[in-house]
Protein backbone atom coordinates (compact mmCIF):
# COMPACT_ATOMS: atom_id res chain seq x y z
CA UNK A 1 0.00 0.00 0.00
CA UNK A 2 1.24 3.46 -0.86
CA UNK A 3 2.27 5.50 2.18
CA UNK A 4 -0.17 8.36 2.59
CA UNK A 5 1.37 11.59 3.80
CA UNK A 6 -0.05 13.48 6.77
CA UNK A 7 -0.96 10.39 8.77
CA UNK A 8 1.93 10.32 11.22
CA UNK A 9 1.57 11.50 14.81
CA UNK A 10 2.71 14.95 15.90
CA UNK A 11 5.56 13.56 18.00
CA UNK A 12 7.08 12.07 14.82
CA UNK A 13 6.33 14.94 12.45
CA UNK A 14 7.30 17.80 14.74
CA UNK A 15 8.94 16.69 17.98
CA UNK A 16 9.76 20.30 18.84
CA UNK A 17 6.13 21.42 18.92
CA UNK A 18 5.04 18.11 20.49
CA UNK A 19 7.46 18.63 23.32
CA UNK A 20 6.40 22.27 23.85
CA UNK A 21 2.78 21.12 24.10
CA UNK A 22 3.80 18.43 26.59
CA UNK A 23 5.67 21.03 28.63
CA UNK A 24 2.66 23.34 28.65
CA UNK A 25 0.47 20.44 29.71
CA UNK A 26 2.82 19.74 32.61
CA UNK A 27 2.85 23.44 33.56
CA UNK A 28 -0.95 23.49 33.59
CA UNK A 29 -1.01 20.34 35.71
CA UNK A 30 1.61 21.39 38.27
CA UNK A 31 0.65 25.02 38.86
CA UNK A 32 -2.23 26.72 40.57
CA UNK A 33 -3.67 28.75 37.72
CA UNK A 34 -5.48 31.83 38.96
CA UNK A 35 -5.85 33.85 35.76
CA UNK A 36 -9.53 34.78 36.00
CA UNK A 37 -10.19 34.37 32.28
CA UNK A 38 -8.59 30.92 31.92
CA UNK A 39 -9.88 27.42 32.54
CA UNK A 40 -9.40 23.75 31.67
CA UNK A 41 -11.51 22.66 28.69
CA UNK A 42 -12.71 19.08 29.07
CA UNK A 43 -11.26 16.21 27.07
CA UNK A 44 -14.50 16.05 25.07
CA UNK A 45 -14.29 19.76 24.20
CA UNK A 46 -10.62 19.35 23.20
CA UNK A 47 -11.45 16.35 21.00
CA UNK A 48 -14.24 18.19 19.19
CA UNK A 49 -12.20 21.34 18.67
CA UNK A 50 -9.14 19.38 17.51
CA UNK A 51 -11.15 17.43 14.94
CA UNK A 52 -11.36 17.26 11.11
CA UNK A 53 -14.02 19.95 11.27
CA UNK A 54 -11.10 22.35 10.93
CA UNK A 55 -10.93 21.23 7.28
CA UNK A 56 -14.31 22.57 6.19
CA UNK A 57 -15.32 25.98 4.83
CA UNK A 58 -18.92 27.04 5.54
CA UNK A 59 -19.47 30.74 4.81
CA UNK A 60 -23.07 31.56 5.55
CA UNK A 61 -25.47 30.04 8.07
CA UNK A 62 -27.04 26.55 8.31
CA UNK A 63 -28.84 25.66 5.05
CA UNK A 64 -27.76 28.98 3.47
CA UNK A 65 -24.09 28.35 2.67
CA UNK A 66 -21.79 29.31 -0.16
CA UNK A 67 -20.11 25.89 -0.41
CA UNK A 68 -21.50 22.39 -0.75
CA UNK A 69 -20.72 19.52 1.60
CA UNK A 70 -22.43 20.95 4.69
CA UNK A 71 -24.40 17.80 5.61
CA UNK A 72 -22.74 17.47 9.01
CA UNK A 73 -21.54 21.04 9.61
CA UNK A 74 -25.11 22.38 9.47
CA UNK A 75 -26.13 19.89 12.13
CA UNK A 76 -23.14 20.82 14.32
CA UNK A 77 -23.96 24.52 14.15
CA UNK A 78 -27.65 23.94 14.75
CA UNK A 79 -26.90 21.79 17.78
CA UNK A 80 -24.56 24.45 19.21
CA UNK A 81 -27.21 27.12 18.72
CA UNK A 82 -30.14 25.15 20.11
CA UNK A 83 -28.16 24.01 23.16
CA UNK A 84 -27.09 27.58 23.96
CA UNK A 85 -30.65 28.75 23.38
CA UNK A 86 -31.93 26.22 25.93
CA UNK A 87 -29.10 27.02 28.37
CA UNK A 88 -29.36 30.81 28.29
CA UNK A 89 -32.99 31.23 27.20
CA UNK A 90 -34.40 30.06 30.54
CA UNK A 91 -35.51 33.55 31.70
CA UNK A 92 -37.78 33.80 28.62
CA UNK A 93 -41.27 32.25 28.45
CA UNK A 94 -40.17 30.85 25.08
CA UNK A 95 -36.39 30.21 25.00
CA UNK A 96 -36.64 29.92 21.20
CA UNK A 97 -37.06 33.69 21.19
CA UNK A 98 -33.37 33.98 22.02
CA UNK A 99 -31.37 34.32 18.81
CA UNK A 100 -27.90 32.74 18.93
CA UNK A 101 -24.88 33.30 16.70
CA UNK A 102 -21.89 31.01 17.41
CA UNK A 103 -19.63 32.21 14.61
CA UNK A 104 -17.60 35.07 16.17
CA UNK A 105 -13.97 33.98 16.36
CA UNK A 106 -13.74 35.21 19.95
CA UNK A 107 -14.96 37.93 22.32
CA UNK A 108 -13.38 40.93 20.60
CA UNK A 109 -14.79 40.05 17.14
CA UNK A 110 -18.19 39.42 18.79
CA UNK A 111 -18.08 42.90 20.30
CA UNK A 112 -16.97 44.45 17.02
CA UNK A 113 -19.98 42.84 15.33
CA UNK A 114 -22.22 44.64 17.82
CA UNK A 115 -20.69 48.00 16.82
CA UNK A 116 -21.07 47.17 13.15
CA UNK A 117 -24.71 46.21 13.70
CA UNK A 118 -25.79 49.28 15.64
CA UNK A 119 -23.33 52.18 15.46
CA UNK A 120 -21.91 54.33 12.66
CA UNK A 121 -18.30 55.58 12.78
CA UNK A 122 -18.02 58.71 14.93
CA UNK A 123 -21.21 58.07 16.89
CA UNK A 124 -21.10 58.04 20.71
CA UNK A 125 -20.78 54.81 22.71
CA UNK A 126 -20.34 54.17 26.42
CA UNK A 127 -18.54 51.45 28.34
CA UNK A 128 -16.73 50.91 31.63
CA UNK A 129 -13.22 52.39 31.28
CA UNK A 130 -10.36 49.89 31.15
CA UNK A 131 -8.67 51.35 34.27
CA UNK A 132 -11.91 50.74 36.19
CA UNK A 133 -12.24 47.09 35.07
CA UNK A 134 -13.74 47.41 31.59
CA UNK A 135 -12.52 45.71 28.40
CA UNK A 136 -10.42 47.18 25.59
CA UNK A 137 -13.30 46.68 23.14
CA UNK A 138 -15.70 48.76 25.23
CA UNK A 139 -14.20 51.92 23.70
CA UNK A 140 -10.62 52.15 24.98
CA UNK A 141 -8.51 54.67 23.08
CA UNK A 142 -5.97 52.10 21.82
CA UNK A 143 -8.72 49.83 20.44
CA UNK A 144 -10.48 50.26 17.09
CA UNK A 145 -13.60 50.79 19.21
CA UNK A 146 -12.12 53.96 20.71
CA UNK A 147 -10.66 55.15 17.41
CA UNK A 148 -13.67 54.68 15.11
CA UNK A 149 -16.38 55.67 17.58
CA UNK A 150 -16.76 58.54 20.03
CA UNK A 151 -16.06 56.75 23.28
CA UNK A 152 -17.37 58.08 26.60
CA UNK A 153 -16.06 55.90 29.42
CA UNK A 154 -17.83 55.68 32.74
CA UNK A 155 -16.10 54.59 35.91
CA UNK A 156 -16.49 53.22 39.41
CA UNK A 157 -17.05 55.31 42.54
CA UNK A 158 -13.92 56.50 44.34
CA UNK A 159 -15.13 55.43 47.76
CA UNK A 160 -16.32 51.84 47.22
CA UNK A 161 -15.05 51.09 43.67
CA UNK A 162 -18.48 49.90 42.51
CA UNK A 163 -19.89 50.97 39.13
CA UNK A 164 -21.19 54.52 39.45
CA UNK A 165 -24.68 54.29 37.98
CA UNK A 166 -25.33 57.98 38.73
CA UNK A 167 -22.37 58.83 36.52
CA UNK A 168 -23.57 56.39 33.84
CA UNK A 169 -26.98 58.13 33.77
CA UNK A 170 -25.46 61.64 33.78
CA UNK A 171 -23.04 60.85 30.93
CA UNK A 172 -25.74 59.03 28.96
CA UNK A 173 -28.09 62.03 29.17
CA UNK A 174 -25.29 64.38 28.17
CA UNK A 175 -23.91 62.35 25.23
CA UNK A 176 -26.94 60.31 24.04
CA UNK A 177 -24.86 57.20 23.16
CA UNK A 178 -26.10 54.82 20.47
CA UNK A 179 -24.74 51.87 22.45
CA UNK A 180 -24.06 51.27 26.13
CA UNK A 181 -21.88 48.36 27.24
CA UNK A 182 -22.47 46.67 30.55
CA UNK A 183 -19.62 44.23 31.05
CA UNK A 184 -16.24 43.89 32.71
CA UNK A 185 -12.95 42.03 32.82
CA UNK A 186 -11.73 42.96 36.26
CA UNK A 187 -14.77 43.70 38.39
CA UNK A 188 -15.57 41.47 41.37
CA UNK A 189 -19.21 42.44 41.85
CA UNK A 190 -22.65 41.60 40.44
CA UNK A 191 -23.70 43.59 37.38
CA UNK A 192 -27.04 45.40 37.66
CA UNK A 193 -28.49 44.75 34.20
CA UNK A 194 -31.98 46.20 34.98
CA UNK A 195 -30.40 49.52 36.10
CA UNK A 196 -28.46 49.70 32.84
CA UNK A 197 -31.65 48.86 30.92
CA UNK A 198 -33.49 51.79 32.45
CA UNK A 199 -30.63 54.19 31.61
CA UNK A 200 -30.45 52.86 28.02
CA UNK A 201 -34.22 53.34 27.70
CA UNK A 202 -34.01 56.91 28.98
CA UNK A 203 -31.64 57.84 26.14
CA UNK A 204 -32.79 55.42 23.43
CA UNK A 205 -29.53 53.42 23.41
CA UNK A 206 -28.94 49.77 22.55
CA UNK A 207 -27.88 47.91 25.69
CA UNK A 208 -25.13 45.35 25.15
CA UNK A 209 -24.12 43.01 27.98
CA UNK A 210 -20.64 41.50 27.67
CA UNK A 211 -20.75 38.44 29.92
CA UNK A 212 -17.47 36.89 28.74
CA UNK A 213 -16.15 36.44 32.27
CA UNK A 214 -19.37 35.35 33.93
CA UNK A 215 -21.23 33.33 31.28
CA UNK A 216 -20.61 30.05 33.13
CA UNK A 217 -22.05 31.61 36.28
CA UNK A 218 -25.03 32.98 34.36
CA UNK A 219 -25.62 29.54 32.80
CA UNK A 220 -25.61 28.00 36.28
CA UNK A 221 -27.92 30.67 37.73
CA UNK A 222 -25.19 32.06 39.99
CA UNK A 223 -25.18 35.53 38.45
CA UNK A 224 -28.34 37.33 37.26
CA UNK A 225 -28.93 36.86 33.55
CA UNK A 226 -29.14 39.76 31.10
CA UNK A 227 -31.38 37.66 28.83
CA UNK A 228 -34.69 39.44 28.34
CA UNK A 229 -33.07 42.68 29.57
CA UNK A 230 -30.17 43.54 27.26
CA UNK A 231 -30.77 43.90 23.53
CA UNK A 232 -27.65 41.94 22.74
CA UNK A 233 -25.29 39.78 24.77
CA UNK A 234 -21.76 38.81 23.84
CA UNK A 235 -19.43 36.29 25.41
CA UNK A 236 -16.33 34.29 24.90
CA UNK A 237 -16.91 30.56 25.28
CA UNK A 238 -13.71 29.54 27.05
CA UNK A 239 -13.76 31.35 30.39
CA UNK A 240 -16.18 30.24 33.13
CA UNK A 241 -18.31 28.54 30.42
CA UNK A 242 -15.34 26.17 29.90
CA UNK A 243 -15.63 25.62 26.16
CA UNK A 244 -13.06 26.10 23.38
CA UNK A 245 -11.56 29.49 22.47
CA UNK A 246 -14.50 31.12 20.72
CA UNK A 247 -17.25 33.69 20.87
CA UNK A 248 -21.02 33.94 20.73
CA UNK A 249 -23.75 36.54 20.47
CA UNK A 250 -27.24 36.18 21.93
CA UNK A 251 -29.89 38.72 21.03
CA UNK A 252 -33.54 39.59 20.84
CA UNK A 253 -35.27 38.28 17.69
CA UNK A 254 -35.67 41.78 16.25
CA UNK A 255 -31.87 42.14 16.12
CA UNK A 256 -31.15 38.67 14.69
CA UNK A 257 -30.66 39.63 11.09
CA UNK A 258 -28.53 42.73 11.71
CA UNK A 259 -26.30 40.74 14.09
CA UNK A 260 -25.95 37.79 11.71
CA UNK A 261 -25.07 40.09 8.82
CA UNK A 262 -22.54 41.96 10.95
CA UNK A 263 -20.71 38.69 11.81
CA UNK A 264 -20.90 37.32 8.26
CA UNK A 265 -20.30 38.86 5.79
CA UNK A 266 -19.67 42.04 7.77
CA UNK A 267 -16.56 41.00 9.66
CA UNK A 268 -15.67 37.39 9.05
CA UNK A 269 -15.39 34.69 6.43
CA UNK A 270 -15.91 31.03 7.22
CA UNK A 271 -16.80 30.06 10.77
CA UNK A 272 -14.36 27.83 12.67
CA UNK A 273 -16.46 24.67 12.61
CA UNK A 274 -14.14 22.76 14.95
CA UNK A 275 -14.72 25.52 17.50
CA UNK A 276 -18.48 25.43 16.90
CA UNK A 277 -18.42 21.70 17.71
CA UNK A 278 -16.45 22.40 20.90
CA UNK A 279 -19.02 25.05 21.88
CA UNK A 280 -21.83 22.54 21.31
CA UNK A 281 -20.09 20.06 23.62
CA UNK A 282 -19.50 22.72 26.28
CA UNK A 283 -23.16 23.79 26.11
CA UNK A 284 -24.17 20.15 26.69
CA UNK A 285 -21.72 19.78 29.58
CA UNK A 286 -23.08 23.00 31.13
CA UNK A 287 -26.44 21.30 31.73
CA UNK A 288 -24.94 18.57 33.95
CA UNK A 289 -24.95 18.41 37.77
CA UNK A 290 -21.15 18.34 37.56
CA UNK A 291 -21.13 21.75 35.91
CA UNK A 292 -23.57 23.14 38.49
CA UNK A 293 -21.30 21.91 41.29
CA UNK A 294 -18.21 23.35 39.56
CA UNK A 295 -19.91 26.75 39.12
CA UNK A 296 -20.94 26.81 42.77
CA UNK A 297 -17.35 25.96 43.76
CA UNK A 298 -16.12 28.95 41.72
CA UNK A 299 -18.15 31.38 43.80
CA UNK A 300 -17.60 29.59 47.12
CA UNK A 301 -13.85 29.37 46.51
CA UNK A 302 -13.64 33.06 45.58
CA UNK A 303 -15.43 34.00 48.79
CA UNK A 304 -13.25 31.73 50.93
CA UNK A 305 -10.09 33.05 49.31
CA UNK A 306 -11.32 36.62 49.83
CA UNK A 307 -11.94 36.17 53.53
CA UNK A 308 -8.66 34.27 54.02
CA UNK A 309 -6.70 37.01 52.26
CA UNK A 310 -8.46 39.78 54.19
CA UNK A 311 -7.62 38.05 57.46
CA UNK A 312 -3.96 38.03 56.35
CA UNK A 313 -3.87 41.81 55.78
CA UNK A 314 -4.46 41.87 52.02
CA UNK A 315 -6.59 44.67 50.59
CA UNK A 316 -9.34 43.75 48.11
CA UNK A 317 -10.93 46.20 45.69
CA UNK A 318 -14.60 46.61 46.79
CA UNK A 319 -13.71 44.64 49.93
CA UNK A 320 -14.56 41.21 48.50
CA UNK A 321 -16.27 39.43 45.64
CA UNK A 322 -19.64 38.21 44.36
CA UNK A 323 -18.28 36.29 41.39
CA UNK A 324 -15.21 34.37 40.24
CA UNK A 325 -12.53 37.01 40.71
CA UNK A 326 -10.71 39.15 43.22
CA UNK A 327 -8.75 42.29 42.54
CA UNK A 328 -6.01 42.56 45.14
CA UNK A 329 -4.41 45.93 45.92
CA UNK A 330 -0.85 45.07 46.96
CA UNK A 331 -0.09 48.57 48.32
CA UNK A 332 -0.46 47.62 52.01
CA UNK A 333 1.94 44.71 51.45
CA UNK A 334 4.60 47.07 50.08
CA UNK A 335 5.08 45.28 46.77
CA UNK A 336 3.86 46.21 43.26
CA UNK A 337 1.46 43.96 41.36
CA UNK A 338 4.04 43.01 38.73
CA UNK A 339 6.90 41.86 40.98
CA UNK A 340 4.33 40.06 43.12
CA UNK A 341 2.82 38.25 40.11
CA UNK A 342 6.34 37.30 38.95
CA UNK A 343 7.26 35.95 42.39
CA UNK A 344 3.97 34.01 42.58
CA UNK A 345 4.71 32.45 39.18
CA UNK A 346 8.04 31.13 40.43
CA UNK A 347 6.16 29.77 43.45
CA UNK A 348 3.83 27.85 41.11
CA UNK A 349 0.88 30.23 41.39
CA UNK A 350 -0.04 31.99 38.14
CA UNK A 351 -2.02 35.23 37.98
CA UNK A 352 -1.77 38.56 36.16
CA UNK A 353 -0.76 41.98 37.40
CA UNK A 354 -3.62 44.40 37.05
CA UNK A 355 -4.40 48.07 37.56
CA UNK A 356 -6.74 48.91 40.41
CA UNK A 357 -9.29 51.73 40.03
CA UNK A 358 -7.61 55.17 40.16
CA UNK A 359 -4.25 53.40 40.25
CA UNK A 360 -1.43 55.86 41.02
CA UNK A 361 1.04 53.50 39.29
CA UNK A 362 1.55 52.89 35.56
CA UNK A 363 -0.41 50.17 33.63
CA UNK A 364 2.76 48.11 33.04
CA UNK A 365 3.70 48.34 36.73
CA UNK A 366 0.36 48.63 38.53
CA UNK A 367 -0.66 48.23 42.15
CA UNK A 368 -2.71 45.08 41.89
CA UNK A 369 -3.10 41.49 40.82
CA UNK A 370 -6.27 39.86 39.48
CA UNK A 371 -6.98 36.35 40.64
CA UNK A 372 -9.85 34.04 39.70
CA UNK A 373 -11.11 30.67 40.81
CA UNK A 374 -12.39 28.95 37.61
CA UNK A 375 -9.30 26.73 37.11
CA UNK A 376 -8.94 25.59 40.70
CA UNK A 377 -12.69 24.90 40.83
CA UNK A 378 -12.52 22.84 37.63
CA UNK A 379 -9.90 20.70 39.40
CA UNK A 380 -12.26 20.18 42.32
CA UNK A 381 -10.29 22.20 44.86
CA UNK A 382 -12.33 23.57 47.76
CA UNK A 383 -12.17 25.52 51.01
CA UNK A 384 -9.15 23.68 52.48
CA UNK A 385 -7.08 24.31 49.36
CA UNK A 386 -8.16 27.99 49.27
CA UNK A 387 -6.94 28.41 52.86
CA UNK A 388 -3.63 26.83 51.93
CA UNK A 389 -3.40 29.00 48.84
CA UNK A 390 -3.98 32.16 50.89
CA UNK A 391 -1.13 31.02 53.14
CA UNK A 392 1.16 30.59 50.12
CA UNK A 393 0.17 34.03 48.84
CA UNK A 394 0.94 35.58 52.21
CA UNK A 395 4.37 33.95 52.33
CA UNK A 396 5.21 35.21 48.83
CA UNK A 397 4.09 38.73 49.76
CA UNK A 398 6.48 38.61 52.75
CA UNK A 399 9.49 37.12 50.96
CA UNK A 400 10.49 36.78 47.36
CA UNK A 401 13.70 34.91 48.22
CA UNK A 402 14.31 32.18 45.60
CA UNK A 403 14.53 29.43 48.23
CA UNK A 404 11.15 30.45 49.70
CA UNK A 405 9.50 30.54 46.26
CA UNK A 406 10.99 27.20 45.24
CA UNK A 407 9.86 25.55 48.47
CA UNK A 408 6.32 26.82 47.92
CA UNK A 409 6.42 25.65 44.27
CA UNK A 410 7.20 22.12 45.53
CA UNK A 411 4.26 22.28 47.97
CA UNK A 412 2.01 23.57 45.16
CA UNK A 413 3.07 20.66 42.92
CA UNK A 414 2.26 18.21 45.67
CA UNK A 415 -1.14 19.84 46.28
CA UNK A 416 -1.98 19.90 42.55
CA UNK A 417 -1.13 16.21 42.17
CA UNK A 418 -4.23 15.41 44.26
CA UNK A 419 -6.51 17.30 41.85
CA UNK A 420 -6.12 16.04 38.26
CA UNK A 421 -7.15 18.76 35.80
CA UNK A 422 -9.91 18.16 33.24
CA UNK A 423 -8.66 17.61 29.70
CA UNK A 424 -5.03 16.92 30.59
CA UNK A 425 -3.33 13.56 30.27
CA UNK A 426 -0.76 14.17 33.04
96 is an active site residue: no
Residue 242 to residues 77, 367, 373, Cα–Cα distance (Å): 18, 29, 13
120 is an active site residue: no
Please state, in angstroms and rounded to a whole number, the distance separating the CA atoms of residues 280 and 191.
27
- x/- site string to ligand DSN, residues 133 to 172, per CB under 6 A? --x-------------------------------------
Please state, in angstroms and rounded to a whole number, the distance separating the CA atoms of residues 195 and 201.
10
| Closer by beta carbon to ligand DSN, 89 or else 183 | 183
Q: Are 248 and 102 in contact (CB under 8 A)?
A: yes
Smallest separation (angstroms) from ligand DSN to the CB of 247: 10
61 is an active site residue: no
Q: Are 388 and 307 in contact (CB under 8 A)?
A: no
Chain centroid to CA 67: 32
Please state, in angstroms and rounded to a whole number, the distance separating the CA atoms of residues 331 and 337.
8
Site for ligand DSN in 174-203 (CB under 6 A): 185
Cis peptide before 207 (omega within 30 of 0): no
288 is an active site residue: no
Site for ligand DSN in 60-99 (CB under 6 A): none
57 is an active site residue: yes
Smallest separation (angstroms) from ligand DSN to the CB of 135: 6
Residue 76 to residues 62, 196, 199, 280, Cα–Cα distance (Å): 9, 35, 38, 7
Site for ligand DSN in 3-42 (CB under 6 A): 37
Please state, in angstroms and rounded to a whole number, the distance separating the CA atoms of residues 143 and 136.
6
- Residue number of the CB closest to ligand DSN reads 37
Query: Pick the catalytic residue: 137, 236, 276, 318?
Result: 236
- x/- site string to ligand DSN, residues 93 to 112, per CB under 6 A? --------------x-----
| Closer by beta carbon to ligand DSN, 83 or else 135 | 135
197 is an active site residue: no
- Which residues participate in catalysis according to the annotation? 57, 59, 210, 236, 239, 245
Which positions touch ligand DSN (CB under 6 A)? 37, 107, 135, 185
Amino acid sequence: MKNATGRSPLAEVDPEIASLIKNEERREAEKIRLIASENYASRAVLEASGSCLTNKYSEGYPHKRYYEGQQYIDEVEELAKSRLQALFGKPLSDPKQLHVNVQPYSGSPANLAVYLAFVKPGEPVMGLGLPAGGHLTHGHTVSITGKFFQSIPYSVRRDDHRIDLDEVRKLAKEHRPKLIWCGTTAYPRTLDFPAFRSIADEVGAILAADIAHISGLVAAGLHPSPVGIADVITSTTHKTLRGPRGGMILCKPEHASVIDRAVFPGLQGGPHNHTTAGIAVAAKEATTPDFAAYAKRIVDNAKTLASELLSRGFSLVTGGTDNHLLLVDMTPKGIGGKPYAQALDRAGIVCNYNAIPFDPRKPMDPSGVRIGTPCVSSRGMGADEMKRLAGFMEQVASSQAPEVLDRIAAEVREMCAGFPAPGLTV
